[in-house]
Amino acid sequence: MIRFENISVKYTLKSKQEVEAVRGVTLEIGEGEIFGIVGTSGAGKSTLLRTINLLQRPTDGRILIGGNDITHLRGESLRQLRLTTGMIFQHFNLIHNKTVFDNIAFAMRSAGKSKSEIERRVPEVLELVGLLDKAKSYPSNLSGGQKQRVGIARSIANDPQILLCDEPTSALDMETTQSILDLLKEINNRLKITTVIISHEMDVIKKICDKVAVMSKGEVVETGDVFRIFAVPEHPFTKQLVNSTLDLELPRKLNENRTKRLFKLVYRGERAEEPVISETVRKFPVDMNILHGKIEYIAEQPIGVLILNLEGAKESVDSAVSYLKTRVAEVEELHA
Ligand SMILES: Nc1ncnc2c1ncn2[C@@H]1O[C@H](COP(=O)(O)OP(=O)(O)OP(=O)(O)O)[C@@H](O)[C@H]1O
């Protein structure tokens, strides 16, 4: 487990002016979790991430890994910490004049691994990331997604316990992003490496993380299970981030020239698969039209909205609505 206790990081600029990039962060990341840190540019995400392997030393506070205080490690124990912490980067940070094999071998040699160990392990990690046939290629002959796969292979070559991912998909297109996130998830599942991933995109968090911390202006403003954060965000900044990605707002045309009774059903949990709609129509003498719907699965649970038009005698519609209220998270009548 990684524990931040009241971590602050200040940078002193040449002008002697101080920038407080991280302010009093207390946070726990469980063993084997995929933990996201999300926030807009300049929120302090990279700075916080880099304190985990002390690429950035905190100005205040303590960091504990597996109960051990690592805040002041130096020399050989610092080297050991870095060896047990793999890292991948937005722009891959590969060595351009070395082959794929040698990029990974270099990281292993730096960790003191023997030639025979390197020769056994490099093909193994290349196979894991699906690039065994590229061992002799140079980075310049690889696509962005392939370069990141090499970055991932290199980061796990020394069997780390923690994997730090600094905006790992920001330089990639949507399709490649998905395949890299799938790979990170597979590696987390197979190797049980605690994975910390920073991103400015809630979409990335939604697709891969178990838990998330939301950062704004150096502070963690909210933290929790990904599903909870998307279903019931509490902090205004989190609400803003969630709204921008889920986009559960109604299409404007539904609010124009409205003559029918419309209801908004909100799903927040396990009930989207249940035949709520057909049961309602069967139980009550009402007609129902679905006008708009958007349901997404986050942490394998549905979140979304349906917009329904219900028609029939007023009492029948009211009874149907009362029934719906017992079956989904929220039912709200939309008034023009
Ligand atoms: N080496 C540095 N020296 C001075 N200020 C820095 C340094 N690194 C970061 N900062 C400042 O600290 C704040 C947090 O930066 P940081 O890179 O941690 O944020 P971030 O959330 O990762 O944003 P981004 O995604 O843009 O990198 C910013 O105001 C940034 O300008």
235-289 residue pLDDT tens: 999 998 888 777 666 666 766 656 788 888 888 876 666 688 889 989 999 998 8
Ligand 1 site-directed mutation target among 10, 11, 17, most atoms within 8 Å of CB: 11
Which residues make up the CATH 3.40.50.300 domain(s) of the chain?
A: 2-245
Q: Of all atoms in ligand 1, which is nearest to the CA of residue 46?
A: 22
pLDDT at 306: 85
Average pLDDT across the chain, whole number:
92
Task: Indicate if the alpha-carbon torsion angle 297, 298, 302, 308 is positive or negative.
Answer: negative
Q: Of all atoms in ligand 1, which is nearest to the CA of residue 9?
A: 12
pLDDT at 290: 87
pLDDT at 299: 83
Q: Cβ neighbours of residue 105 under 8 Å, at least 6 residues apart?
A: 118, 122
pLDDT at 68: 95
In whole angstroms, give the CA distance from residue 137 to residue 146: 11
Asked whether 41 lines ligand 1 (CB < 6 A), one says: yes
pLDDT at 332: 87
pLDDT at 232: 87
pLDDT at 215: 97
Q: What is the CATH number of domain 252-334?
A: 3.30.70.260
Q: What is the CATH number of domain 2-245?
A: 3.40.50.300
pTM, full prediction:
0.88
Report which protein residue has its CA nearest ligand 1's atom 12.
21
Which residues make up the CATH 3.30.70.260 domain(s) of the chain?
A: 252-334
For the chain, the straight-line distance linking the first and the last C-alpha, in angstroms and rounded, comes to 51
* Spacing, Cα 20 to ligand 1 middle (Å): 9
Report which protein residue has its CA nearest ligand 1's atom 29.
42
Q: Which regions in the chain score pLDDT beneath 70? A: 247-252, 254-258, 270-274, 336
pLDDT at 211: 97
Name the one residue in this structure whose structure tokens are 């950035």.
Answer: 56
